[in-house]
Amino acid sequence: MYSLAVRLFTLAPKNALSFATGQAARLKLPKPLADLSCRGFAAVFRLNMDEASAPLSAYATIEDLFTRSLKPGLRPISSPICSPADGFLARSGPIQAGEAIQAKGLPYAAADLIFGATAPETVKAQDFAWYQTIYLAPHNYHRVHAPFSGRVTKVTHFPGELWPVNGPFVARVPRLFSRNERLVFSFDLSLGGKAYVVMVGAFNVGRMVTPLAPDVVTNNGRRQGNEQPSFTTFEPARDVAIGDEIGTFMLGSTVVIVYDHAAISGINLLRAQDNRPILMGQTLCTRQS
């Protein structure tokens, strides 16, 4: 059944359908209808509104509710490298010969995810040491935070496709993360080394925003997939502290973190391939030597 769904999605106008969903999520209805739709959304997806900074009645649209902020102090930082988002730690492991694992039997090149076809000639497969993949489910808090302290040198927007990022599609669509639309944040870390935080768009909205580059518009309704990437370069680089907000998914998706060898020197990162639940701020490493 899932193989048939993949074939159907190959033909579907994924970006246009996602854009339409986003427009519907942003639709401002009369107050009684807005309250009803938000209550229904919260009930269907079992949102934990006890954590939200505002009561359910305060949200004017589904998008407002989905991108809700949290009460202050709910996500304390517990280590020098922490989860950037609430969700599930799908995978965390070494990058071998430049490849990370999307799902069992499906590798992808870390350089493709980060640079697309724009990789500098100086970038080598052996430069990449480790990756971590956090999947956000619909009920999760959908703001993304810096998983470490450092300086952001560049934000790259890669237009692309918008495949679903749930388990069945991740297991069947080759190079899904590097094919989908994404925002890539390039970090020089305070502890040394380089790392990249990749927000991967997904079917149904696919819209992502970042306070670091407010002019970037993802899934803006135009035909995407063949457009060139755009770059926002910071000179000087922007200081970002661990836990600072760097982006928001307007409806679900995935965050991938990629580290070079210097970034994880002296740090033991968690190993995982089991979709373990994780909250923003919880540790992604076991200890620092």
The per-residue pLDDT string of the chain (289 residues; one tens digit each, 9 = 90 and over) reads 657 777 777 777 788 887 888 877 888 989 999 999 999 999 999 999 999 999 999 999 999 999 999 999 999 998 999 999 999 999 999 999 999 999 877 999 999 999 998 888 778 888 999 999 999 998 999 999 999 999 999 999 999 888 888 888 888 899 999 999 999 999 999 989 999 999 999 988 778 999 999 998 787 765 555 578 999 999 999 999 999 999 999 887 899 999 999 999 989 999 998 889 999 999 999 865 4
In 3-state terms the chain splits into helix, strand, coil percentages (rounded to 5) of 25, 35, 45
User: What's the confidence (pLDDT) of residue 184?
Assistant: 97
Q: How high is the pLDDT of residue 226?
A: 56
| 143-145 and 230-240 beta bridge pairing | unpaired
Quote the DSSP letter at residue 120.
Answer: -
Residue positions counted in the chain: 289
- Catalytic choice (79, 83, 86, 92): 86
Determine the pLDDT at residue 85. 97
φ, ψ at 128 (rounded to 5°): -90, 135
145 is catalytic: yes
Nearest to 146 by CA among 83, 91, 87, 92: 83
**Residue 110: per-residue pLDDT:** 95
Q: How many helices (H) and strands (E) does the chain have?
A: 7, 15
SS3 168: helix
**How much is the pTM?**
0.92
pLDDT of res. 77? 94
Catalytic, 265? Answer no
pLDDT value, residue 10: 76
**What is the model's pLDDT at position 164?**
87
pLDDT at 117: 82
Tell me what pLDDT residue 2 has. 59
Q: 260 an active-site residue?
A: no
Report how far Cα 118 is from the mean position of its chain's Cα atoms: 20
Tokens of 218: 């993802």
* Active-site annotation holder among 37, 92, 149, 253: 253
pLDDT at 287: 62
Catalytic residue among 145, 149, 157, 178: 145
Is the Cα torsion angle 234, 150, 201, 144 positive or negative in sign?
negative
Tell me how many degrees the CA angle 14-18-19 measures, rounded to the nearest 5: 120
